[in-house]
Structure formats: C-alpha cells, structure tokens
Amino acid sequence: MSPDLEFALASREIANEENSLVSRNSRSLWRCLGAVTAGFLILLILLFLVLPIVIIFPMSFGSASYLEFPPRGLTLRWYGQYLSDPDWRAATLFSLKIALATTLLATIIGTLAAIAFVRGSFPGKGLFQAITLSPMIIPHIVIAVAVFLAFAPLNLSGSFLGFLIAHTMLAVPYVVLTVVAALQRFDTTLELAALNCGAGRIRTFFSVVLPNIRVGVASGAVFAFLASFDEATVAFFLSGIEGKTITRKMFEDIDFNLTPVIAAVSVVLTLTSLLVMGALHVFSRNPVPAQR
C-alpha cells in the first residue's frame, strides 16, 4: 500500500473519530439542556402550587383589617379573634368531632372491605369495588346534592349523624385503596403459620396481619381524617344553623365578613394537615413489633 493511500485512510479514520466525538458531545449537551429545562419547569410548577399556601401565612399576621400582601405590620390579633369567637370555636370543634368519628368508622369499614376484596371471592365483587370507590370519581357537587335531597326529609341535614354518614361515604375509598395495597404486599405464609400453630382467625388478624399492614391502615385513617376535616362541598349543603363545619363558616365569612381571620383559619387548617401527615411519617418509621 502506498504511503499516500495509508495517509488518506488514517486521515479518514481521524475525521470519523472527531465527528463521532462531536456527535456524542452534542447529544450530551442536548441531554443536559433538556434536564435543566425539565427541572426549571418542575420548579415553576411546584412554586405555582406552593406559593398560595406560603403567601397565606404572612397575610394571617397582617395588621390591616383586610387581606393584603405583603403586610404592612405584624400582629396576632386575628388568631386571637378566631380563638375568642364562639362561632369559630363551635365550628372548629364540630368539624373535629365529625373528622375523628369519620376516621374511626371509615377505617373499620374500609379495612373490612379491603380484606373482602383481596381475600374474598363472591358474585359481583367487581361491582362492589366500583361502588365503594365511586365517591372518588363522582364530582362532590353531585354527591352533595344527592345527599341533601336524601337527608332533608329525614331531618339529618346539619346533624352530627348526617355529617358522619356523608363523610364516611367519602372517606372509605381512601382506606380501601391503602389497605388493599398493604394486603397485596403482605406475606400470607405468616398468617398460615399462625393458623397452623393453633391461633384463631381473630387472634391471627390482630397479632400477625394487622401489625404488618398497620402503615396502610394508618395511611387510610389519615386520609379519612383529612377528607372529612377539609371537606367543603358536601358541608356547604348539609350545614345548618346549629351544625356548621369550619369550611362552611369560612364560606360565610368570605361572602359577608372577609377579614384576615380567614387567613388565620387557613393557616390552622394547613398546620393541622401537616401535623397529621408528620405523625403518619413518624409512625411509619417506627414500626410496632408483632405480638407473640
């Protein structure tokens, strides 16, 4: 092979390697730019979602008698007014009682339903699952109108029992979903081992099954509490003169008496949600050992 031909081939190989290197560098640059752009867009979306919650905190400390941002002065006046107002206290306590009762009832019903859906085999199982989860799909305004029309003739509107039934119906799907997920990950051989050792069904459930699905049950209970405590649409239709939730009270004050008290109540609701979620996180990180 002549020296000129060898030189030409070597030059071609070098050029190909350079082109390949440039192509790889170009692809790496585009990937880097894509990652930066995606990260920037995600940051903007997060800011869009979180910014209203962040803004409400300083607004609740504003010294003006109306909502403003940024506040010209800082005061705890509106929190004091919220705590001293008997209507606000009554609405808050009423919402707490409903939420706690709903959490207990929805957790029991949802856990039992989840066990039936995972372990059971019966006609119409899929239909029952769809009906159980339907409150998560059907618009709450439709449920609110239907519940109001059904409860009004029974004098359940504005009553504790009426709210308990309606909120339990809305909260059960959250418990079912979380407990079903926990049961599907549960190792059933542990349950069979306990049964083979002579333990009864009830003792096996509380000693073996429940400790292993406790995080799913607790998660469902937390979501049930929040679904009841923060619920506004159904509460707007069911609330009466005596039985009035905190969300209905907020709607009334927004219409007729808009003051920074609304911002203070919003902060209380936000902190309550964060506290409950934080408690769930601590509970999930500190597992309780199974009973022996």
Residue 166: which H helix or E strand, with range? helix 160-185
> What pLDDT, on a 0 to 100 scale, did the predictor assign at position 271?
86
Of the candidates 166, 150, 153, which has an alpha carbon nearest to the alpha carbon of residue 101? Answer: 166
**Please, is 172 exposed, middle or buried when counting C-beta atoms within 10 Å of its C-beta (0-12, 13-18, 19+)?**
buried
Sequence-separated (6 or more) residues with CB below 8 Å from residue 151:
157, 162, 165, 166, 238
**CB-CB contact of 256 with 39 (8 Å):** no
pLDDT beyond 50 at 7: no
Does the pTM surpass 0.85? The reply is no
The CA dihedral of 43, 45, 48, 49, to the nearest 10 degrees, is -110
Give the chain's mean pLDDT.
Answer: 80
**What is the number of alpha carbons within 13 Å of residue 13 lying toward its C-beta?**
6
The pLDDT tens digits of the residues spanning 143-160 come to: 888 888 888 888 887 788
pLDDT beyond 60 at 243: yes
CA-to-CA dists, residue 223 to 89, 107, 122, 216, 227, angstroms: 23, 10, 28, 11, 6
pLDDT greater at residue 208 or residue 267:
267
CATH number of 77-285, picked from 2.70.50.60, 1.10.3720.10, 3.40.1500.10, 3.20.20.140: 1.10.3720.10
Q: How far apart are CA 108 and CA 124, in angstroms?
A: 22
Of the candidates 51, 50, 68, which has an alpha carbon nearest to the alpha carbon of residue 59? Answer: 68
The pLDDT tens digits of the residues spanning 46-94 come to: 888 888 788 888 888 887 777 777 778 788 888 888 888 888 888 889 8
**Please, is 147 exposed, middle or buried when counting C-beta atoms within 10 Å of its C-beta (0-12, 13-18, 19+)?**
buried
DSSP designation for 61: T
> What pLDDT, on a 0 to 100 scale, did the predictor assign at position 116?
87
